[in-house]
Amino acid sequence: MPRWFRISFLLLFISIQAGAIEAIVSYCTFYEKKPYIEVYWQIAPQSLRFIKTEDGLLISRMKTDIIIRNDTGIIGGDHYYSQTPGFQSVQQAAGQTMLYMRRYNITDGKITIELNVRGDADSNNRYSFKDSLLVEPNINKPFYSDIQLLDTFYKSNQASIFLKNGEQHIPLCANFYDERRNMIHYYGELYNANRSEIHTLLHKVYISQKPMESPYQRYTTVDSVSKKEMQAFSGSFNIATLPSGNYYLNFSLEDKDGLLVASKSQFFQRSNVTAAALAKNDTTNSDTGFVNINTLNLNKTFIGKYTLLQAKAILKMIIPTSTPVEMQAIRSFLKKPDELYMRYFIYNHFSTINPKDPERAWKEYSNDIREVNKLFGSEVTPGYETDRGFVYLKYGKPTERVQVENEVGALPYEVWQYNALTAKVAGSNQANAVFLFYRPSEYLSDMKLLHSTVPGEVRNSQWRTILYTNGGGSNDANSRAEQYIGNR
């Protein structure tokens, strides 16, 4: 049976009358000769449908299905029913957080996880999660497990599903830290240190703004490494003064000269209104993703009406206008969705554009999305996921768009000319900018970006070899590609 804990949790879920179960899922891969995976999930009791028992208590019954697959089929899983304790009221239920954990042996290679929870009282009261990951084999050199974020940990050998190496590790399913959570606790394992020929190894843990870049301020610890087959590391950082933003918790195994031997990173998000106020005029924090974050009930904002799948789609839509730090966060969210914090991220993205009216900023951008879907979308691919849609969203409508379908000796192509190009985020500003798109196959309806004169974009000096079927270039003096690009 799952254990219950009174842990701090950001309860911004919809009311008890809502249809969907609200949950957050995470997982970590560890090794005992062979890999195994731990799956953790929290359910907000407010989102469950309760029934009243004969003695007047409120309970909710759920059916849980977990399926673990690899390329050959199902390799693990569970199917079981569970029931909440009896509560006197919904308010009492809301004060609890249901925390579950399951562990499964897995293989290396691609693994798919499916988790489905359905309430017995209402077939629409359900939650579904699906994700995939690539599990590395147990290699003959030092490497790390995944980094597990913890709600708390403490020394105890009492038997429980959370016991590991003499400590109780209570998992934290979300990678979001608001002002009520000012400590970041972590756990991880290092394998095969005994197989390293390096005499002295150091294990460094630190926080950075990008994966494995230099440490941010003082958030660093260093431990010596024993030459063991497995060594466990747990610890904490006080992040009370860490400004709002996107960060990474990093494990780094180094030799005495600082040469990197192994590494692992874990993305997390920080919302710290107090630190943001203190750092309002501090430009050193301007690249953390979102310093002036808003902590609010998202259900009352424009993002509240969208489903998880729609929120994931919006994340993809905003990639063209995102900073490099934001793009790293988006890739992390798409790989391991945390619905509540994805919504925070989207809200703050548009709040940065228009602090007084984020919804207006979203509506204006969604008009651009509709335009690129109309211009470049297909039944298979929405316009915002195409190369032309990406450029359109990032730089706006081109000054001139030249479509060439039947040039002798050339594949179908388009040339986009910008008289004065300005990116919607910090980036290239250039006069007389050109983009060249082409259709590599008659079976494709979409075009791919082949070459651009814009720094930071695709630059292919051999574009003629690809565009022209003779592999050498155009014999037509009127070729539009030659006229617009030439030797640029």
Q: Is pLDDT of 325 > 70?
A: no
CA torsion through residues 174, 101, 108, 116, sign: negative
pTM, rounded to two decimals: 0.59
Q: Is pLDDT of 347 > 80?
A: yes
Look at residue 10 in the predicted model and tell me its pLDDT. 29
Look at residue 85 in the predicted model and tell me its pLDDT. 87
Q: Is pLDDT of 382 > 80?
A: yes
Residue 329 binned pLDDT confidence (cut-offs 50, 70, 90): confident
Q: Where are the domains of the chain?
A: 1-137, 139-282, 296-376, 386-484
Q: Is pLDDT of 15 > 70?
A: no
Which of 87, 103, 104 lies closest to 95 in space, CA to CA?
A: 87
Averaged confidence pLDDT in the chain: 83
Beta-ladder partners of 195:
none
Share of the chain above pLDDT 90, in %: 42
34-43 and 23-32 strand pairing: antiparallel
Look at residue 171 in the predicted model and tell me its pLDDT. 94
Cα distance between residue 75 and residue 81, in whole Å: 21
Share of the chain above pLDDT 70, in %: 86
Residue 8 binned pLDDT confidence (cut-offs 50, 70, 90): very low
Q: Which CATH superfamily is domain 1-137 in?
A: Immunoglobulins (2.60.40.10)
Cα distance between residue 413 and residue 5, in whole Å: 60
- Cβ atoms of 480 and 404 within 8 Å: the answer is yes
360 token code pair: 């207006």
Indicate the range of 62-76, 353-367, 472-486 predicted with least confidence: 472-486
Q: Which CATH number fits domain 139-282: 2.40.110.10, 2.60.40.10, 1.10.3470.10, 2.70.50.60?
A: 2.70.50.60
pLDDT tens-digit profile of 147-199? Answer: 999 999 999 989 989 999 889 999 998 888 888 889 999 999 999 999 998 88
Planar angle of CA 186, 66, 29, nearest 5 degrees:
30
Q: Is pLDDT of 449 > 90?
A: yes
- Cβ atoms of 124 and 54 within 8 Å: the answer is no
